[in-house]
């Protein structure tokens, strides 16, 4: 049996529902605490530049309330760097961000932006944060991530999930093979490997089964599923699938 894979639960979309009406509920911190009880190993939250879901005060409240690690997702801007340095989260995941996108499309361009990113992550690493780069499963990006001293890479599973949902099985298998190969490659470079984006009960097992993948970060599907079965049941079922995939 392989070692236990961590599950990070992304609570951004609890804030999306709250913000649809303004006001105070549903409260993402309450969701985070419930996720913790249901067996999440960490909580992920993305403070977007436009604050469309998580807001600065949510990050502050999460830092104060959580006893499990917070993985703070952010773009590589000086505003976000300052916020990260203030809150000192356990982990920071750097993601690309475009204002007009609905969700994080594609991975971070590390190879062509090495000097800037290296300078950007240095103070975060110096503070003791685990710094993760959200990248496509692409050897060039992984090599560059290792070169600039990142601790972790999170492999973008969005393309795999899209092909899977469309029933494009051959493309989904090709993409899975790429994620698998890149997980080995990154692990050999000394990077810890995480994966996420678009994962559901239907598509999680082959990703969870990759031995080098130490953590999955899952949000949108779990929050949606919780409407029907409750957040605790949705998380337990996801955990069960992850465990079974690694038996
Ligand atoms: N990992 C990263 C780096 C992300 O940006 C996101 C989406 O915010 C996720 C994981 C979770 O993706 P999803 O909400 O599709 O499960």
DSSP 58-106: HHHHHHHH-SSPEEEEE-S-HHHHHHHHHH--SEEEE----TT-SS--S
The residue contributing the CA closest to ligand 1 atom 5 is 104
For the entire predicted model, the pTM comes to 0.96
What is the rounded CA–CA span in Å between residue 222 and residue 237?
10
Segments making up each domain of the chain, as ranges? 6-245
Q: Which two tokens stand for residue 104?
A: 């994080």
pLDDT, one tens digit per residue, over 78-132 is 999 999 999 999 999 999 987 667 776 789 999 999 999 999 999 999 999 999 9
The residue contributing the CA closest to ligand 1 atom 1 is 196
Domain 6-245 has CATH 3.20.20.70: yes
The residue contributing the CA closest to ligand 1 atom 3 is 134
Q: Which two tokens stand for residue 115?
A: 């000097």
Identify the CA nearest to 61 among candidates 29, 23, 14, 19: 29
- State which of 196, 231, 238 you would mutate to test the pocket of ligand 1, scoring each by most atoms of that ligand within 8 A of its C-beta: 196
Q: Which two tokens stand for residue 239?
A: 């955990």
Query: Cα–Cα distances in Å, from 208 out to 175, 176, 213, 247?
Result: 14, 11, 7, 11
What is the rounded CA–CA span in Å between residue 241 and residue 129?
30
Identify the CA nearest to 58 among candidates 104, 92, 13: 13
**Residue 170: how many CB atoms within 10 A of its CB?**
8
pLDDT, one tens digit per residue, over 39-59 is 999 999 999 999 999 999 999
Helix, strand or coil, per DSSP, at residue 195: strand
Residues annotated as catalytic (active site), given as ranges: 46, 73, 197
Q: Are 90 and 62 in contact (CB under 8 A)?
A: no
Residue 164 has pLDDT above 80, yes or no: yes
Residue 198 CA: nearest ligand 1 atom is 15
């Amino acid at each position: 049996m392989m070692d236990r894979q961590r599950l990070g639960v992304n609570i951004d979309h609890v804030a999306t529902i709250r913000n649809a009406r303004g006001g105070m509920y549903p409260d993402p911190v309450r969701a985070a605490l419930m996720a913790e009880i249901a067996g999440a190993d960490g909580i992920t939250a993305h403070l977007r530049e436009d604050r469309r879901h998580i807001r600065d005060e949510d990050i502050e409240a999460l830092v104060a309330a959580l006893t499990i690690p917070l993985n703070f997702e952010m773009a590589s801007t000086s505003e976000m760097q300052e916020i990260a340095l203030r809150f000192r989260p356990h982990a920071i995941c750097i993601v690309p961000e475009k204002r007009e996108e609905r969700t994080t499309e594609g991975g971070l361009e590390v190879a062509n932006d090495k000097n800037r990113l290296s300078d950007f992550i240095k103070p975060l690493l110096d503070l003791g944060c685990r710094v993760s780069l959200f990248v496509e499963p692409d050897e060039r990006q992984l090599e560059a991530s290792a070169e600039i001293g990142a601790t972790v890479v999170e492999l973008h599973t969005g393309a795999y999930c899209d092909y899977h949902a469309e029933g494009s099985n051959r493309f989904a298998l090709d993409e899975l093979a790429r994620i698998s190969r890149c997980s080995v490659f990154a692990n050999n470079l000394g990077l810890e490997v995480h994966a996420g984006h678009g994962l559901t009960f239907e598509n999680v097992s082959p990703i969870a089964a990759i031995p080098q993948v130490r953590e999955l970060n899952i949000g949108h599907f779990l929050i949606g599923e919780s409407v029907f079965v409750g957040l605790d049941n949705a998380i337990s079922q996801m955990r069960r699938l992850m465990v079974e995939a690694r038996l």
